[in-house]
């Protein structure tokens, strides 16, 4: 087949276009450090990169949720530790009053004060939210009435945060399982105070037993919280491991091989010069044909 002058020019233009595209791609990879600059460069690769970035963003949200949950759980454990100290002090006061009426009167006043402090513990907040009211987090769960009785205004719902696509982390225990569960600490302290003031040793002893049972309740609650914290630690380890693996995959998919890109740039520049030289030769031949 005879190659016409027009065909020669068209072939030259196609060659220039291909070389120019290679040159631009290499320059883009070197300047950006990325394999592609637009999805159209490689739709399949772009899809993988979008997926991996989406998973990274999702994981980051889970980690924020996890950090919040663990902070809340550790805070709650500290609060319950303080509660146990208060209960131990109350038991000591009660035991001292059994054989000492004077100690009973003064001790009862301290028991009343401890009762008010424990009401405050029941209404503890973390980041502005009550932690012992179940899902009722915006209002105090424990309300002291004019007759000094205390009622629970929360519910029995648990609170959790999403830390994985199918994983949630429990972040609190409702006060109905602790302060006003099998042992109502507020009525127990009221009865203890009355017994201490009247010198009712049998009544004091009965309330001491309840306080000891309440200590067991608090201990069980702290054990549950420790279990939630351990679960959170395991989830955090899993998220970190997957993040490292994903980062490696993303680097492999997204990052350009700079050495290879530089080599491609050099070869493209050489090819461009050769193509331009070939184009100049075609122009010269065409001019000589015209002169003939």
* 203-249 residue pLDDT tens: 999 999 999 999 999 999 999 999 999 999 999 999 999 988 888 87
Strand 159-164 versus strand 167-172 pairing type: antiparallel
| Same domain? 172 vs 285 | no
| Same domain? 190 vs 233 | yes
**Residues pairing with 159 in the sheet:** 172
* Rounded mean pLDDT, 245-265: 64
* Rounded mean pLDDT, 24-34: 54
User: How many structural domains is the chain composed of?
Assistant: 2
Structure tokens, 58: 């999702």
**Residues pairing with 133 in the sheet:** none
| Same domain? 124 vs 219 | yes
* Rounded mean pLDDT, 102-114: 89
In a domain, 240, yes or no: yes
Query: What per-residue confidence (pLDDT) applies to 53?
Result: 82
pLDDT at residue 36 greater than cutoff 50:
yes
Is this structure's pTM higher than 0.95? Answer: no
Alpha-carbon distance values, 275 to 9, 13, 236, 270 (Å): 11, 9, 57, 9
| Same domain? 230 vs 270 | no
All residues at 6 or more sequence positions from 182 whose CB lies less than 8 Å from its CB, including other chains: 213, 217
| Same domain? 173 vs 291 | no
Alpha-carbon distance values, 251 to 34, 137, 236, 246, 285 (Å): 9, 43, 22, 8, 50
All residues at 6 or more sequence positions from 53 whose CB lies less than 8 Å from its CB, including other chains: 250
Residues 35 and 29: beta-carbon distance below 8 Å = yes
Which structural domain range is residue 284 located in?
261-292
| Same domain? 63 vs 96 | yes
């Amino acid at each position: 087949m005879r190659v016409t002058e027009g065909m020669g020019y068209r072939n030259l233009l196609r060659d220039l276009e291909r070389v120019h595209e290679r040159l631009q791609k290499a320059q883009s990879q070197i300047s950006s450090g990325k394999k592609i600059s637009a999805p159209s460069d490689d739709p399949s690769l772009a899809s993988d990169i979008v997926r991996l970035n989406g998973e990274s963003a999702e994981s980051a949200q889970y980690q924020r949720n996890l950090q919040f949950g663990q902070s809340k759980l550790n805070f709650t454990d500290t609060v319950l530790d303080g509660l146990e100290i208060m209960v131990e002090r109350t038991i000591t006061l009660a035991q001292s009053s059994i054989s000492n009426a004077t100690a009973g009167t003064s001790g009862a006043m301290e028991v009343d004060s401890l009762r008010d402090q424990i009401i405050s513990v029941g209404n503890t907040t973390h980041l502005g939210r009550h932690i012992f009211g179940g899902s009722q987090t915006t209002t105090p769960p424990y309300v002291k009435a004019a007759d000094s009785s205390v009622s629970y205004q929360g519910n029995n719902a648990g609170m959790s945060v999403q830390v994985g696509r199918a994983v949630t982390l429990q972040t609190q225990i409702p006060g109905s399982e602790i302060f006003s569960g099998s042992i109502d600490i507020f009525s127990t302290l009221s009865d203890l105070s009355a017994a201490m003031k009247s010198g009712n040793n049998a009544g004091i002893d009965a309330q001491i037993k309840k306080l000891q049972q309440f200590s067991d309740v608090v201990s069980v609650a702290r054990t549950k919280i420790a279990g939630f914290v351990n679960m959170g630690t395991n989830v955090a380890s899993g998220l970190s491991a997957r993040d490292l693996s994903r980062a490696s995959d993303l680097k492999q998919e997204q990052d350009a091989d700079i050495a290879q890109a530089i080599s491609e740039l050099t070869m493209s520049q050489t090819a461009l010069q050769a193509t331009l030289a070939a184009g100049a030769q075609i122009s010269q031949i065409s001019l000589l044909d015209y002169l003939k």
